[in-house]
Chain A
Amino acid sequence: MSHSKLASIFNKDEKRVDWHDKALWFVRHKRDLSVHNVKGWEELRNLGHGIKAHMLSNLDNYLIQFEENAKKNGVQVHWAADADEHNKIVLQILKENNAKKIVKSKSMLTEECHLNPCLEADGIEVIDTDLGERIVQLAKETPSHIVLPAIHKNRHEVDELFQEHLGTKPCDGDPQYLTGEARKHLRTKFIQADAALTGVNFAVADTGGFVVCTNEGNADMGAHLAPVHIASMGVEKIIPKQEHLGVFLRLLARSATGQPITTYSSHFKKPRKGVKMHIVIVDNGRSEQLSRPDFRASLHCIRCGACMNTCPIYRRSGGHSYDATIPGPIGSILSPGKDLTKHSTLPFASTLCGSCSDVCPVKIDIHSQLYKWRQIITKETPQPFVKKQAMKAMGNIFAHPNRFETVGKIARWSLRNLPKAMINSKPNVWGHTRDLPLGPEKSFDQWFKDRENDKKS
């Protein structure tokens, strides 16, 4: 379904839209307060952009360097060309270790690869351990935001979900009680887990180590208890040097939630005694995106979610309206690269206001890329005949001043003289909820000509 259809369904409940909008604006505002206190924030963004651009231009070398160093550290490294291969590798590792119960710390990459259903089909229990992720997992939904996966649910809905699945008592959505119960529930899962899966926020080429950022400590709890740790990372997560972490860790948390740093920024380098550590390095369309000069900068993304929080459309349409793993402005430039037809409406779900580009900590020119996708989409995917013809006609009128004048006259006359009911009839979407301007008698052109004539006479 198109973004606009899904968004209009979400908009049927205006109260929900209002709190969704306010909740995300609150986060965006917190981000503002915290970044405006950092001296040299814009320089930091430039640095982040520069390091990422450099990394992408030397991606092959840095990945190889990372692999070598990780292996030296005793980590097993695997390469996956696509989602399918990633899932097979993970499944294989789990089988080799006879792992039946898995705890996962939030990883959008495993969402992207649809890992959960694949493991579950093999009889493996997968528990998402980030609270928000666990909530959407219980609701059998997908995350609607990359940092705040359950932001579309209010506490009363969570209350009901927990009663149904975790056997909690009705509590009128008391957050303290609910998180307490979630904590108990998750702790039992951590203790029982045979393997822990985490994402990777940053992989450091010159050390072979990697960093996972969470606010709940769930990645650590999983990785420190289970005998097997599998980390899934996209190829673009690599940064050249350990010292670059200082740039990205500062950018990430502030942009995401306005915190100076995430509560846990856990560095993993080598497996503990008796524990196995695996890293799966995944492409899944990334090198194809890298090959598109106009869109390669989308791979700078550090998944902070700031572009979603700032986007006035995202805030009012909800993450699910994007029907993609990564929603919002950045998702709208990543998704068409994967399936142009399926995601053809996403680049149009924007007013091109540019707030996303200005908020992005690694300076991705998001709105310019949306504009560029639009040009490609109208050429390469089926477009409504009427829209195509209308654009052609408009192009033609604007290329010829005399035609422009004639059409303008007719339009003004119609607005002035036709009955309102006819003007605001169904095909005129504008008129459903908005009045059209009254057509003036004279255009500016006419007024100007008359004035010139008056001057002469």
Chain B
Amino acid sequence: MKVGLFIPCYINQLYPQVGIATIELLEKLNVDVGYPSGQTCCGQPMANSGYEYESVGACNNFVDNFKEFDYIVTPSGSCAYHVKKHYNIIPQTTEVTKVRDNVYELCDFILNILKIKDVGAAFPHKIGVHKSCHGLRGLRLGSCSEVVGEKYSYIEELLQEVKGAELTTLSRNDECCGFGGTFAVTEEAISVKMGKDKIQDHLNSGAEVITATDTSCLMHLEGLINRNKQPLKVLHIAEILNSNI
């Protein structure tokens, strides 16, 4: 099984530690990971801003880099969702559909393709899980409160096996954090208010660390937490699953 690792643009530049944790974790799980050096971005920032046509180059570049792999894994539910849902703007060659069918968010890949629940991590802290929307309602990484059906969460299934980890419960389990890409800037007032409310919910639940499948949400929350000097840390889920303290 040939697995290609996609590291989203902003993680590559601003949060390399998330990429490092991801690759180390996959290697620990005996996955043969390749990291194509020509990768950049999935094209989402332009597309969500209404400039899909400016993202064609990025889409093609993505497919070129990953067409050889059986699976493409990324520590970002949002990017995986974007490739799956919005790559219909380029011609649907077999390469393109193969890439779209086989792109996976990290937790989804570990649990449902590798079929591993216990990754052997230890992290003795109270963890608040932020269920990033694109992963939740786009990729269905968990059940969401609006839909009637069985309750499940891939993220929590993995975290439950982490030694010492204790998951907290939020009063609004799956409310958006207010990041939303350029929304965070164009709708600043609402974005900030949503982030503040989300953080307060985590503080009330007794969390020490907020984790998520998406660094973008965490970047927004961390920006507020640091500015307001609040007693919370943020860590991408790959960092928790890769830790052994």
A21-39 at interface with B (beta carbon < 8 Å) = 21, 25, 32, 35-36, 38
Residue A100 at the B interface, CB < 8 A? no
Residue A316 at the B interface, CB < 8 A? yes
Q: Do residues B193 and A401 form an inter-chain contact, with CB atoms below 8 A? A: no
Question: Which of chain A's residues has its CB closest to B19's CB?
Answer: A444
Q: Do residues A434 and B220 form an inter-chain contact, with CB atoms below 8 A? A: yes
A390-415 at interface with B (beta carbon < 8 Å) = 391-392, 394-401, 404, 408, 411-412, 415
Residue B119 at the A interface, CB < 8 A? no
**Which of B49, B51, B57 has a CB less than 8 Å from the CB of A399?**
B57
Q: Do residues B57 and A375 form an inter-chain contact, with CB atoms below 8 A? A: no
B121-167 at interface with A (beta carbon < 8 Å) = 133-134, 136-138, 144-149
Tell which of B51, B52, B133, B172 has the most Cβ of chain A within 10 Å.
Answer: B51
Q: Do residues B13 and A374 form an inter-chain contact, with CB atoms below 8 A? A: no
Chain B residues lying within 8 Å of A11, measured Cβ to Cβ, are 189-190, 193
Chain A residues lying within 8 Å of B232, measured Cβ to Cβ, are none
Residue A287 at the B interface, CB < 8 A? no
Chain A residues lying within 8 Å of B54, measured Cβ to Cβ, are 391-392, 394-395
By size class, the interface of chain A is 35 or more
A245-269 at interface with B (beta carbon < 8 Å) = none
B1-33 at interface with A (beta carbon < 8 Å) = 7, 9, 11-17, 19-20, 23
Stretch at the interface among A151-159, A216-224, A324-332, A347-355: A347-355
Q: Do residues B192 and A433 form an inter-chain contact, with CB atoms below 8 A? A: yes
Tell me the smallest distance from the CB of B116 to a CB of chain A, in Å.
24
Say yes or no: A412-B13 contact (C-beta < 8 A), given A38-B148, A355-B133.
yes
CB-defined interface of B174-209 with A at 8 Å, one 1/0 digit per residue?
111011111111111111111101000000000000
Q: Do residues B48 and A433 form an inter-chain contact, with CB atoms below 8 A? A: no
**Which of A350, A374, A448 has a CB less than 8 Å from the CB of B35?**
A448
Q: Do residues B55 and A351 form an inter-chain contact, with CB atoms below 8 A? A: no
The B contact surface, by secondary structure, is helix
Residue B111 at the A interface, CB < 8 A? no
Tell me the smallest distance from the CB of B172 to a CB of chain A, in Å.
7
Q: Do residues A312 and B146 form an inter-chain contact, with CB atoms below 8 A? A: no
Q: Do residues A348 and B61 form an inter-chain contact, with CB atoms below 8 A? A: no
**Which of A32, A313, A374, A411 has a CB less than 8 Å from the CB of B49?**
A374
Residue A70 at the B interface, CB < 8 A? no
**Which of B40, B146, B187, B220 has a CB less than 8 Å from the CB of A359?**
B146
The A contact surface, by secondary structure, is helix
**How many angstroms between the C-alpha atoms of A437 and B19 in the bound complex?**
16
Chain A residues lying within 8 Å of B148, measured Cβ to Cβ, are 35-36, 38, 41-42
Residue B226 at the A interface, CB < 8 A? yes
Q: Do residues A8 and B12 form an inter-chain contact, with CB atoms below 8 A? A: no
Q: Do residues A353 and B224 form an inter-chain contact, with CB atoms below 8 A? A: no
Tell me the smallest distance from the CB of A404 to a CB of chain B, in Å.
4
A341-399 at interface with B (beta carbon < 8 Å) = 347-355, 357-359, 371, 374-375, 377-378, 387-388, 391-392, 394-399
Tell which of A41, A312, A359, A408 has the most Cβ of chain B within 10 Å.
Answer: A312
Residue B45 at the A interface, CB < 8 A? yes
Q: Do residues B52 and A351 form an inter-chain contact, with CB atoms below 8 A? A: no
Chain A residues lying within 8 Å of B193, measured Cβ to Cβ, are 11, 14, 17, 316
**How many angstroms between the C-alpha atoms of A387 and B227 in the bound complex?**
27
Q: Do residues A437 and B14 form an inter-chain contact, with CB atoms below 8 A? A: yes
Residues on A lying within 8 angstroms of B by beta carbon are: 3-4, 7-8, 11, 14, 17, 21, 25, 32, 35-36, 38, 41-42, 310, 312-313, 316-317, 347-355, 357-359, 371, 374-375, 377-378, 387-388, 391-392, 394-401, 404, 408, 411-412, 415, 429-430, 432-437, 439-440, 442-449
The 10 residue pairs across chains A and B that have the minimum distance between CB atoms: A399-B57, A351-B180, A434-B223, A395-B54, A354-B137, A374-B50, A444-B19, A378-B50, A353-B133, A8-B189
* Supplied contacts A312-B194, A358-B137, A375-B47, 19 more A-B pairs, CB within 8 Å: A11-B189, A32-B145, A42-B147, A348-B186, A352-B133, A352-B180, A353-B176, A354-B134, A354-B136, A371-B47, A374-B49, A375-B53, A391-B49, A395-B43, A398-B43, A399-B61, A412-B13, A430-B185, A440-B17
Q: Write 16 A-B pairs (CB below 8 A) sorted by A numbering.
A: A11-B193, A312-B176, A348-B50, A348-B182, A351-B191, A357-B137, A371-B47, A391-B54, A392-B51, A395-B57, A408-B13, A429-B185, A429-B188, A430-B185, A437-B223, A443-B12
